[in-house]
Amino acid sequence: MTEMPYTPTPEEQDALRRIRDRLGPKGWVDDPETLAPWLIDSRNVYEGRCLGMAKPATTQEVSDILAIAYEAGIQIVPQGGNTSRVGGATPDPSGRQLLINLGRMNAVRDIDAANYTMTVEAGCILKDLQDKAESADRLFPLSLGAEGSCQIGGNLASNAGGINVLRYGNARDLVLGLEAVLPDGRVWNGLRRLRKDNTGYDLKQLFLGSEGTLCIITAAVLKLFPLPKERAAALVALSDLDAAVTLLEQARTASADALMSFELMPGFALDWAERHVEGAKQPFDTTYDWTVLLEIGGTRADGSAGQALEGLLERAYEDGHIVDAVLPQSEEQRSQIWFLREAIVDAQVREGAQVKHDVSVPVSRVPDFIRQANAAVIEMMPGIRPYPFGHVGDGNIHYNLSQPVDMAAADFATHREALQRRVHDVALSLDGSISAEHGIGLSKREEMLRCKSDVELETMRALKNLFDPKGLMNPGKTIPAARAETK
């Protein structure tokens, strides 16, 4: 049975007409074909509908459309590049929500190289910002697989992590100032470029990571860093899983903490990438159990980063922590190895149904986490294929699972929740988190009830209510409803 599309009330129709008039034809999309990809999340788990997509080009337009929507009680789903892994940017199936996509707000307002800052609008594509910073001989270090399509507003709203957190921190650590529009349309201009500013509560930190539930981020002042003049990378094969933690410790010391990335990958993931992703090439002739891609950034182009890396690897080889290593000899080879790292994500999709996780534990407990989670899921489902990889330098593992080869994908999907609970239990028992970098969105909302205290949840609800008393901003995301009363 096909569901009837939602018919807006006369008040909503009037508000939508005013919004369309305010934005003009470039600022409004309601053609089903153009809308379709924006209504499905990046994992193809959620599909929604909407009243239309507003595409404001200025902060004032965002303010005006929020004010109109607020008055008419229209629910809003803020959206950037729609690469969320937790369904955070997908509207619900009711058809009553309005998408606001920031893609047209893509200007870099200012680069202040001496202050090491860049003021940017929310719709800038992350990769464009990296390039822009580089052209001013600066580094903007946020980097992740979706950087060619995700927007800085989405990165900040979800406090994204990625491959350089080890050295530079998460998205929230990279922001000095913020501009945001509150649900009723009021604009907060907090675009300060200060490294020291202890003037009361830090509102921007509340908005960063709020996943579109408190405000729409329209611009930000981002921190820049000296551009590394050389990058020395290696793909190494570990003697065993524990060696990952030992090598990480040694790499931080050997590089004087200039280690930028430290990514763990199971050897068979490299094979899967070569098999399924065009252009991906596994450089080893053997499938090792565990590999790590590490990279050191040097501030001088004098080969010192490369020397530090080689010295580190020689010692690690002598001590028996690594058994093999590939050191790229050119920029092209270095990008091939990074391509392989990003390709393992797509490769897993081609191996059938999957259940994803994004947990973190203290770095020292990563090996225990992987071993305990493996034992737990294999006990639940013999034949399941654990595919743990990720940012081990941050204690962040994407403990993904692939279906047993002889199981129907639909069958596997029915076990998703039970598997996720079990994996989350292991992470929580090791003092970990159920969401390291992807956020809560829709897919982890109910798990919040298991890992947050009443005090924490009640405070979050009170803050939500303070900023968004009508509950219009990204309803149903991030914050779970109150626990059902138990007798």
Residues at the site binding ligand FAD, with contacts judged by CB under 6 A: 42, 77-85, 88-89, 102, 122, 144-146, 150-151, 153-155, 157-158, 160-162, 211-212, 216-217, 345, 437-438, 441, 474, 477
Q: Tell me how many degrees the CA angle 312-318-319 measures, rounded to the nearest 5.
A: 85
Instruction: Name the residue nearer to ligand FAD (CB basis): 80 or 228.
Output: 80
Out of 49, 138, 365, 398, which residue is the one contacting ligand 2HG (CB under 6 A)?
398
Out of 101, 164, 255, 400, which residue is the one contacting ligand 2HG (CB under 6 A)?
400
Task: Using CB positions, name the residue nearest to ligand 2HG.
Answer: 398
Residue 250 corresponds to which tokens in the numbers above? 């040694």
25 phi/psi in degrees, rounded to 5: -65, -30
Rounded-to-integer distance, Cα 215 and Cα 77, Å: 10
Rounded-to-integer distance, Cα 315 and Cα 52, Å: 59
If one asks whether residue 476 binds ligand 2HG (CB under 6 A), the answer comes out as no
Rounded-to-integer distance, Cα 132 and Cα 136, Å: 7
Helix (H, G, I), strand (E, B) or coil at 300: coil
150 binding partner (options ligand 2HG, ligand FAD, none; Cβ < 5 to 8 Å by kind): ligand FAD
Measured from the CB of residue 180, what is the shortest distance to ligand FAD in angstroms? 7
Out of 356, 365, 385, 424, which residue is the one contacting ligand 2HG (CB under 6 A)?
356
97 binding partner (options ligand FAD, ligand 2HG, none; Cβ < 5 to 8 Å by kind): none
Measured from the CB of residue 473, what is the shortest distance to ligand FAD in angstroms? 8
Instruction: Let me know: does 263 contact 292? Beta carbons within 8 Å.
Output: yes
| CB neighbourhood size of 467 (10 A) | 17
Helix (H, G, I), strand (E, B) or coil at 364: helix
Q: At what angle do helices 366-380 and 416-429 cross, to 10 degrees?
A: 150
Which is nearest to 469 in space by CA: 82, 91, 73, 53? 73
81 binding partner (options ligand 2HG, ligand FAD, none; Cβ < 5 to 8 Å by kind): ligand FAD
78 binding partner (options ligand FAD, ligand 2HG, none; Cβ < 5 to 8 Å by kind): ligand FAD
Which is nearest to 356 in space by CA: 27, 43, 18? 43
Which is nearest to 207 in space by CA: 185, 190, 222, 195? 190
Out of 80, 141, 390, 395, which residue is the one contacting ligand 2HG (CB under 6 A)?
390
Instruction: Name the residue nearer to ligand 2HG (CB basis): 417 or 454.
Output: 417
Measured from the CB of residue 374, what is the shortest distance to ligand FAD in angstroms? 22
If one asks whether residue 291 binds ligand 2HG (CB under 6 A), the answer comes out as no
Residue 93 forms beta bridges with which residues?
Answer: none
Rounded-to-integer distance, Cα 287 and Cα 289, Å: 7
400 binding partner (options ligand 2HG, ligand FAD, none; Cβ < 5 to 8 Å by kind): ligand 2HG
Instruction: Name the residue nearer to ligand FAD (CB basis): 13 or 465.
Output: 465
Helix (H, G, I), strand (E, B) or coil at 48: coil
Which is nearest to 273 in space by CA: 282, 262, 264, 261? 282
Measured from the CB of residue 309, what is the shortest distance to ligand FAD in angstroms? 23
120 phi/psi in degrees, rounded to 5: -135, 155
If one asks whether residue 145 binds ligand 2HG (CB under 6 A), the answer comes out as yes
Q: What is the CA radius of gyration of the chain?
A: 23
User: Which 309-348 residues touch ligand 2HG, going by CB under 6 A?
Assistant: 345
427 binding partner (options ligand FAD, ligand 2HG, none; Cβ < 5 to 8 Å by kind): none
Instruction: Name the residue nearer to ligand FAD (CB basis): 244 or 436.
Output: 436
The binding site for ligand 2HG (CB under 6 A) comprises 85, 145, 345, 356, 390, 398, 400
